[in-house]
């Protein structure tokens, strides 16, 4: 099955409220499960990944009620989690997998985590190895991948030096450290998104982040307290429309109620550096999470150079940065992004392969890419492929808006992982032209 992608010669126009933040939705479910009382979640992202987390928590004894974007988690406390009756399916969700490894490492039962073929290729030793410093025991396949067996056991406090810049790994270590009988210290390689830390503080955890934004101290707290969580709009989802507004001529878009956590706003900084016509209007923060409205207009763009220090705050948006670079006037370079090779697809290879079909001059590097932008492309192939990767599929749908003729996208169903209404929202903004 293929999805027909049509150009937008008159641009995109309108106001769009994007779905709830994926990272925050995952974490609200997990913290609600181990808290005491009822946690309510508003503007929950009901994408496949977050629903995977919800189903896995139900399998370990947590009652969760969902009506659309509103969720109630009936917290069980740490000791209320129970052994699952069978394997826990992670489907395609790396976030679910890594966070639950940390959560279940300290519970007094065994759990098996299994995933779909794509997830089963992704590296998991980056979680199991640092968890071992806290006493965690996770057995992986010989290739260091799923299936994983988490042998729950009492954990011990420790100082853990991370070797990868990953918010998911950091969050797994924090969830494990909360269960140890003493203070633990986690040191990041580079600062990464801090949703777990902010939300845990709101739930009553004893957790502090040093001024370097890379050293987290975690002390055990026997009881977390249920909260009302208002999930902001997902900036990673909004990024597709922000980029569309920047690169599709005659466009002007406004996206309200977005999460503007400084660890997530790398795409806004890139747009500003590239000269995009961008306006950000802050709103009051909620539970430490910054929020606001962003308006974007189309216009000429400058090339950009990004290195390893820029990557953690941009990791999900780098395919979109490549698309921006393809529309800029000049040569852009992205390096230090080897982490892209172990996402839902090898995003360095897939971005280069698919953008080349559109006539973009793009060179693959071991840890990034070089893109020579130009205002017009010469389409070489009309059939694009998501490679089963939701972010690649959405990036290509945005790229196709600049084409001079309709294109086709295979694997469009992958988009539902994080943004089930993406194509509906895109059509609405095109219809307003």
100 and 26 share one domain:
yes
Q: Order of strands, edge to edge, in the sheet holding 13-15?
A: 13-15, 252-259, 289-297, 277-286
151 and 181 share one domain:
yes
pTM of this structure: 0.92
**Cα–Cα nearest to 97, from 73, 64, 126:** 126
How many Å separate Cα 221 from the centre of its chain? 28
**Cα–Cα nearest to 236, from 429, 374, 49, 13:** 49
Integer CA distances (angstroms), 173 to 197, 230, 267, in order: 11, 25, 27
For residue 63, give both structure tokens: 């009652």
Write down which residue in 230, 260, 285 finishes a domain.
230
Cα–Cα distance measured from residue 402 to residue 352, given in angstroms and rounded to the nearest whole number: 17
Q: What b/e sequence results for 137-155 when a residue is b if at least 16 CB atoms lie within 10 Å of its CB, and e otherwise?
A: ebebeeeebbebebebeeb
237 and 225 share one domain:
no
Task: Name the pairing type of β-strands 70-76 and 63-67.
Answer: antiparallel
Segments forming the whole domain that contains residue 137: 22-230
Phi and psi for 184 in degrees, rounded to 5? -120, 155
197 and 239 share one domain:
no
208 and 250 share one domain:
no
Cβ-contact 323, 355 below 8 angstroms:
yes
For residue 137, give both structure tokens: 């025991």
Cα–Cα distance measured from residue 150 to residue 153, given in angstroms and rounded to the nearest whole number: 9
The domain tally of the chain equals 2
Please name the residues in contact with 342: beta carbons below 8 A apart, sequence gap of 6 or more: 122, 123
Active-site annotation holder among 49, 234, 310, 316: 316
75 and 113 share one domain:
yes
253 and 160 share one domain:
no
Cα–Cα distance measured from residue 392 to residue 247, given in angstroms and rounded to the nearest whole number: 17
Cβ-contact 324, 270 below 8 angstroms:
yes
Please report the pLDDT score of residue 376 as a whole number: 87
225 and 152 share one domain:
yes
How many Å separate Cα 257 from the centre of its chain? 18
Phi and psi for 380 in degrees, rounded to 5? -100, -35
Integer CA distances (angstroms), 202 to 83, 103, 289, 303, in order: 28, 18, 11, 40
Write down which residue in 172, 200, 230 finishes a domain.
230
254 and 274 share one domain:
yes
Cβ-contact 354, 323 below 8 angstroms:
no
Q: What b/e sequence results for 268-279 when a residue is b if at least 16 CB atoms lie within 10 Å of its CB, and e otherwise?
A: bebbeebbbbbe
CATH number for the domain harbouring residue 191? 3.65.10.10
Give the ranges where 35-166 is alpha helix by DSSP (H): 48-59, 94-105, 117-120, 125-133
Please report the pLDDT score of residue 67 as a whole number: 97
For residue 3, give both structure tokens: 């999805």
pLDDT along the chain (433 residues), means of 10: 94 97 97 98 96 98 97 98 98 97 98 97 96 98 98 98 95 98 96 96 97 96 96 96 98 98 96 98 94 98 96 93 97 96 95 97 98 92 97 98 96 93 96 56
Please report the pLDDT score of residue 355 as a whole number: 98
Please report the pLDDT score of residue 433 as a whole number: 41
**Cα–Cα nearest to 348, from 338, 359, 336:** 338
Q: Is 316 a catalytic residue?
A: yes
247 and 330 share one domain:
yes
Write down which residue in 196, 230, 264 finishes a domain.
230
Phi-psi region of 430 (alpha: psi -120 to 50; beta: other; left: phi over 0): alpha
Please name the residues in contact with 108: beta carbons below 8 A apart, sequence gap of 6 or more: 152, 153
213 and 307 share one domain:
no
SS3 assignment, position 67 = strand
113 and 253 share one domain:
no
User: In this structure, what DSSP letter does residue 87 have?
Assistant: P
């Amino acid at each position: 099955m293929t999805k027909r992608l049509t150009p937008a010669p008159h641009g995109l126009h309108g106001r769009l409220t994007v779905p709830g933040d994926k990272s925050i939705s995952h974490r609200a479910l997990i913290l609600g499960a181990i808290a005491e009382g009822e946690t309510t979640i508003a503007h929950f992202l009901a994408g496949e990944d977050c629903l995977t987390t919800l189903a896995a928590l139900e399998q370990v004894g947590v009652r969760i009620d969902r009506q659309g974007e509103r969720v109630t988690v009936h917290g069980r406390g740490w000791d209320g989690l129970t052994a699952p009756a069978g394997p826990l399916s992670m489907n395609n969700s790396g976030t679910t997998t890594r966070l639950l490894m940390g959560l279940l490492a300290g519970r007094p039962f065994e759990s098996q985590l299994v995933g779909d073929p794509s997830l089963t290729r992704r590296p998991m030793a980056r979680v199991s190895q640092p968890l071992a410093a806290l006493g965690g025991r996770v057995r992986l396949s010989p290739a260091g991948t799923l299936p994983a067996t988490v042998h729950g056991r009492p954990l011990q406090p420790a100082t853990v030096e991370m070797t990868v810049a990953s918010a998911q790994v950091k969050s797994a270590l924090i969830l494990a450290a909360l269960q140890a009988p003493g203070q633990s210290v986690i040191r990041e390689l580079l600062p990464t998104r801090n949703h777990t830390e902010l939300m845990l503080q709101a739930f009553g955890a004893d957790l502090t982040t040093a001024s370097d934004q890379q050293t987290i101290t975690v002390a055990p707290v026997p009881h977390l307290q249920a909260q009302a969580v208002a999930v902001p709009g997902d900036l990673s989802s909004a990024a597709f429309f922000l980029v569309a507004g920047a690169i599709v001529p005659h466009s002007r878009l406004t996206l309200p109620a977005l999460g503007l956590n400084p660890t997530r706003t790398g795409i806004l900084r890139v747009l500003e550096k590239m000269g995009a016509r961008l306006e950000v209007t802050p709103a009051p923060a909620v539970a430490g999470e910054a929020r606001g409205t962003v308006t974007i207009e189309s216009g000429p763009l400058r090339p950009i150079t990004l290195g390893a220090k820029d990557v953690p705050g941009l990791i999900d948006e780098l395919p979109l940065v490549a698309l921006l670079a393809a529309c800029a006037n000049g040569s852009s370079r992205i390096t230090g992004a080897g982490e892209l090779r172990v996402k839902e697809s090898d995003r360095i290879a897939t971005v280069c392969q698919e953008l080349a079909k559109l006539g973009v001059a793009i060179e693959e590097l071991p840890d990034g890419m070089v893109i020579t932008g130009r205002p017009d492309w010469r389409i070489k192939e009309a059939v694009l492929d998501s490679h089963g990767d939701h972010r690649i599929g959405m990036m290509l749908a945005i790229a196709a808006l600049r084409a001079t003729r309709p294109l086709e996208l295979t694997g469009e169903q992958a988009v539902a992982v994080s943004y089930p209404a993406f194509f509906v929202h895109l059509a609405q903004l095109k219809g307003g032209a």
